[in-house]
Structure 1
Amino acid sequence: MTVWDRPEPPTQPVPLDRERIVAAAVALADEGGLEAVSVRKVAARLDAGPMRLYRYISTKEELFDLMVDAVHAEIRPEEQPGDWREALRVLAHRTRQTALRHEWLADLLGGRPALGPNRLAVTEATLAAFDGFADTDTVMRAVETVSAYFIGAIRREIANLRAERATGLSNHDWQRAHGPHMTRMLATGRFPALAKAVYEGTDVDAETSFATGLDWVLDAVATKLIRPST
């Protein structure tokens, strides 16, 4: 029985339910990452005994599943997307925006999907936009391909943000600090392709890079999606 199927315990003198538990866990994770979340710390945030929480959740993994599902309410589109391309674009951008608000989400994306109501609603809205395509397997591969792109891009962006905070250096500051070494290495002539990229490439912000890559992946997916002839 999943955590969503298991009934909650009867109300206690101090009000407690899974919604409050999850909200407290999300707040802790927003403040200090997943390492800041434990049953004991969540209980302390709620001024409750840890053993009481185990009546609502069995493991920390269940708590993480509930947290992921809770923030999927922010990913769920406000309206049903009009077509498959819009659906996947909305999914990608809303997932990125949610991960930037809740950086810990990047650490939990890409594994086995949590089967909570918000996650299922997001998946339903995405798949419903493919109505009219008869080949279900192709549709599933399309969703998986686009998801693999944006999950990887989100994780990389979050990793860069964490590195900036850890070092106190922005990407531009880091590049300037390592500029002399890179210049010496490129001057050896051993890395001509890299030198071309460094000296001729255009530096773009993370949002532009994300959107451009997403459009390229969607263009590629479009070549595989063929509506059945009528």
Structure 2
Amino acid sequence: MTEVVTFGAGVVFGIALAAPPGPMNAVIAEESVAHGWRSGVRAGVGAMMADICFFVGALLGVVTVVERLPTLRAAMVAVGGVLMLYFAYDTATDLQSGFRTANAAGADRGFRRAFVLAITNPYQILFWLTAGVALLDPGTVDVLAPLSTALAGQFVVQTGTPVLLLGLFSGVALWIVGFPAMLIAARKRMDSFAPLTAAASALVLFGFGVYFLIDAVTLLMD
């Protein structure tokens, strides 16, 4: 029973990690609406591959090294900011030229964009430095115990287990498959959804790009 609860908690945690609005979902949304469901899923897989890299890095202690070197972290944040500004410009250019293409290069572009953005995203690095490390640490979390002593032991999650990690990445996979499908369904009912999604994606990428560049300067000045 504990393994089932642990897996379920991992799935919920993975969806909660992948679902919030941000640059990754902006890229997935644009690729889904502009190039189709498969391109959206490929972009999502690119973002998840970055999480897998961070997961391996957390196991090896590499992520902690990045946190201890402010200059390196600032450089990664700055690179992420510049890339987001570039991709925002690229998306805006697609808006003007008409972006509905079905070639392989366009599909592969979504994977590359999402991976590069995710691997330089300080928020994902921060997650694996904090919550990610806690998930890898063997132990148990009695989720309902703080609410009531009567509920103690009813919802116990085992951390640091393959079951939890499998649930986590299963939750992320569910999101990157389901989110593009929802967008495609919405697009079929609204012909103008593609340019609206691309415009929103460009604005999100631009905003995060500027924020990351400011954050990088702040890190270097501290």
Provide the TM-score with structure 1 as the length reference.
0.31
**Bigger proportion of residues as helix:** 2
Greater RCO (Cα-Cα under 8 Å, separation 6 or more):
2
TM-score (norm 2): 0.32
- Which structure is larger by alpha-carbon Rg, 1 or 2? 1
